[in-house]
Amino acid sequence: VFKLNNITVSSEELVGTSSLQVYPNPVKNGKVFLSQSSTFSVFDINGKQMLGPITNIEFDVTDWIAGIYMIKMKNGGVQKLIVAY
C-alpha cells in the first residue's frame, strides 16, 4: 500500500488505472517514455514529489536513486515506475 498526498493506493489498484504505458519499466538509466503526452507528477515511495506537474511524453531519471516511484496522471490514474541501477 502506497500513500501519495493523502491518496492510498495498493498495488492491486494500480492495474488498469490508466491506459497510459510507461517504458522501459523497470528503467536502468536515462529517459522514461510515456505512450502519449500527458500531464503528470512523479512521487517517490515516501510521497515526496520528484517531478511535475508537467505535460510531456518523456522524462529523465538519470540522477534518481534506485527505488519505486508513482506516476500520478492529471486524470487520476497512477502507474508504478521502478528505477534500478
- All cell numbers assigned to 7: 491518496
The predicted-structure confidence for 42-81, as pLDDT tens digits, reads as follows 999 999 999 999 999 999 999 999 999 999 999 889 999 9
Residue 6's pLDDT is: 56
- Side-chain half-sphere CA neighbours of 9 within 13 A: 24
Q: What is the mean pLDDT of residues 22-34?
A: 95
The overall average pLDDT reported for the chain is 85
Residue 32's pLDDT is: 97
Computed over its alpha carbons, how large is the radius of gyration of the chain?
A: 12
Q: How much is the pTM?
A: 0.78
